[in-house]
Amino acid sequence: MPHPRKPRPSRRAAPRPGAAPEGPRHGTVADTASTARASETAPDARPSEGHPPYLARPDLHADCGNCFALCCVALPFAGSADFAYDKSAGTPCRHLRTDFRCGIHDELRPSGFKGCTVFDCFGAGQKVSQGTFAGRDWRTGGPAVARRMFAVFPVMRRLHELLWYLAEALAAPRARPFHGELRPLLERTERLTHGGPEDLVNLDVEAHWDTVATLLLRVSEHIRATVPGPRHDHRGADLIGARLKGADLRGASLRGARLIAADLSGADLTCADLIGADLRDTDLRGADLTGSLFLTQAQLNAARGDATTRIPPALARPAHW
């Protein structure tokens, strides 16, 4: 892929399981009723062809070429395995160029910025840059515009993450009984994203998050109940390093589970709810994720996989696999 404006940065400290990166509060859908972590579309990866219309929405995929590198400026990072140094919110990353491109795009991982290849804004960056602020950038707009823009970005990202989950739920045939509730919530969430800077900054996004999360949990339970046989409940479980190779996890709840470095190779995750699950360095080689619920690109990017990993059609195989 041609040199994008900049890839997405990771967040500061390694994200905790079930915790969405930023936002006024970091409650997660998993904590309350559903959620997932940040993600990013791998630099040269695009969504697969032929996926359901709702998941074909380009506005829910990061478009760095139409964003003023908000994730490289607005968010704080802590020096960690994901980000090589401390950076405060509102401070441009030292590697960000004046043209809003990343100066080390091709060497992010070896340079200690692995997290930058994982993060995903769900399309919030371009929405804030081109929509909310109508193409004004934080460099030339002055400090007041910059402050507002940086405050709006996490809220927009939160809303776009909800749009992703709602869109996925609406695309699931087995969620049809909930369409009457899902559609109005999706439309309401869409409307919120079109508010002005003040509307967005003053929005109680967590209250809206909780409303959506409650419905998504009901959808998840309904879909998972269609899976015959025992269904494992690992919600919020500490499964760090767990040996789950070849496990039958169909219909399991893994909401907010910590699966860091767990071995899920060859596991069947059909109808498994992965919202908010921490998949950093999780071995997904040969795993079947095609029918999983609420998996995001960021989760996939953070995990380990290969050509034998079966991924949902709306997501892209990470370039570093």
List residues bridging with 184 in a β-sheet.
none
95 vs 255, beta carbon nearer ligand SF4: 95
121 vs 162, beta carbon nearer ligand SF4: 121
- If binding is defined by CB under 6 A, does position 95 make contact with ligand SF4? yes
Cβ atoms of residues 295 and 50 within 8 Å: no
Q: How many CB atoms lie within 10 A of CB 140?
A: 9
User: Which range, of 90-98, 126-134, 182-190, 311-319, touches ligand SF4 by CB under 6 A?
Assistant: 90-98
- If binding is defined by CB under 6 A, does position 113 make contact with ligand SF4? yes
- Alpha carbons 66 and 228: distance in angstroms, whole number: 45
Cβ atoms of residues 242 and 261 within 8 Å: no
103 vs 246, beta carbon nearer ligand SF4: 103
Vertex 83: Cα angle to 79 and 84 (nearest 5):
65
Select from 4, 5, 6, 154 the one that contacts ligand SF4 (CB under 6 A): 6
List residues bridging with 253 in a β-sheet.
233, 273
Shortest reach from residue 80's CB to ligand SF4, in Å: 13
Cβ atoms of residues 12 and 121 within 8 Å: no
Cβ atoms of residues 223 and 171 within 8 Å: no
Select from 4, 9, 23, 305 the one that contacts ligand SF4 (CB under 6 A): 9
Select from 29, 33, 55, 116 the one that contacts ligand SF4 (CB under 6 A): 116
Q: List the x/- string, 59-78, binding to ligand SF4 by CB under 6 A.
A: -------------x------
Q: List the x/- string, 260-279, binding to ligand SF4 by CB under 6 A.
A: --------------------
Amino acid identity at 13: A
Select from 20, 104, 172, 314 the one that contacts ligand SF4 (CB under 6 A): 104
Which three-class secondary structure state does DSSP give residue 278? strand
- If binding is defined by CB under 6 A, does position 311 make contact with ligand SF4? no
List residues bridging with 258 in a β-sheet.
238, 278
Shortest reach from residue 162's CB to ligand SF4, in Å: 24
What is the H or E stretch that residue 239 is in? none
102 vs 166, beta carbon nearer ligand SF4: 102
Shortest reach from residue 110's CB to ligand SF4, in Å: 12
- Alpha carbons 91 and 75: distance in angstroms, whole number: 8
- Alpha carbons 102 and 73: distance in angstroms, whole number: 11
- Residues making contact with ligand SF4 (CB under 6 A): 6-7, 9, 72, 93, 95-96, 102, 104, 113, 116
